[in-house]
Amino acid sequence: MARKFLYAFAVLIMLTVAGGFALNAFPTLFMRMTMVPGGGVDALPPPPSYDDAKMWLARPDKPGNPALWTPAGYTPGAQPQAAVFFIHPTSYLVRTHWNAPLDDPEANARAAIFLKGQASAFNGIGAIWAPRYRQAAFGAFLTSQADAQKALDFAYRDVVAAFEAFLRQAGDRPIILAGHSQGALHLTRLLHEKIAGTPLAKRIVAAYVVGWPVSRTADLPRMGLPECTSAAQAGCILSWQSFVEPADPSLILDTFDASTGFTGAPRKGSAMICTNPLTGTPDATAPATANRGTLLPSSDLSTADIVAGRVGARCAGRGLLMIGAPPAMGGFVLPGNNYHVYDYSLFWANVRADAARRLAAFEAR
């Protein structure tokens, strides 16, 4: 693996992470001055056609598909049975626009890097589609301006168009939905608006809403799928947010508690879904020995290896995933001991096994 990939994976994912709740931990005034776009949101034209292969960062027929990357000892599945729709996190860092241009080379290159470190966990059993979309800029998560929500709405409109094209292209295969951070935010809305109450819900193997809070009472009842309550359950939602103790989630919970869920009820005080990725069950505790492999960069960042047995996990409080003493992942931990950056890589091999197990349960059902 090229040094460039791992350096970018370790550094750029930290810079571009868009877990909106956690971002408030940075000095607000400085971040707003340097990252929040000026002026109003540009009126964007309708989404382009996602029947065009150029609109996809990853698609089964796309040469150089970044989602097919694997660490040593793993290979993509030869005959993927499921179709995976993956929504990448924010990769647009500048404040030139509220929404990323589709042809921005740096944003697209970073998004492709995210697919290598995150979406690749699903390539053992699924063919992966991951769209380019006019994502909301990093700065949209640092302000309560109405323009920020408009930017997110524009981004979501592209995601919907991509999802509709994905359904046409994927045929009748079982579906896995996954995303991280801003991608997971859009995934919650997609579940609420496009899957809940429709026949499509019966085709969903699992939805991995990682790095974004989901309220069990204010969101889940209107998202069309239940929370995963067993390791071999299909047709359910998983979600987690990784922390090390002593954790300070106040900035996450303060913002979360000030918002309203899909049911119309306030999220204040509600419990969040916490799936332990080591067990595939909610509110669980598992030792490091249960970890099949963390995606761990070498000291010189020239390679990445799967290292088993290093990271345990337990759900605590209102729904945070505590990971004990993690290995040396790099110096990119967010304030409050928030390991959001590493939500997938800490449990890469377990996520891979979890998806395979749920697909088997889906097919048996």
Work out the number of other CB atoms within 10 angstroms of the CB of residue 266.
15
Band (253; pLDDT cuts 50, 70, 90):
confident
The more confident residue out of 215 and 332 is 215
- Output the pLDDT for position 341: 81
* pLDDT of amino acid 316: 96
- Minimum mean pLDDT among 16-30, 112-126, 169-183: which range? 16-30
What is the percent of the chain where pLDDT is above 90?
68
Q: Which domains does the chain show, CATH number per domain? A: 3-239+248-253+349-364 (3.40.50)
Number of residues in the chain: 365
Residue 247 is encoded by which pair of tokens? Answer: 């954790």
Give the pLDDT of residue 251: 67
On the question of pLDDT at 17 being above 80, the answer is no
Cα separation, 91 vs 138, whole angstroms: 8
Query: Can you give the pLDDT at residue 259?
Result: 87
Residues 339-360 have pLDDT tens digits of: 988 899 999 999 999 999 999 9
Provide mean pLDDT across the span 217-225.
98
Mean pLDDT across 229-238: 98
Per-chain mean pLDDT for the chain: 87
The pLDDT tens digits for 56-110 are 999 999 999 999 999 999 999 999 999 999 999 988 877 677 888 999 999 999 8
Phi, psi angles (nearest 5°) of residue 131: -85, 150
Q: What pLDDT does residue 100 have? A: 87
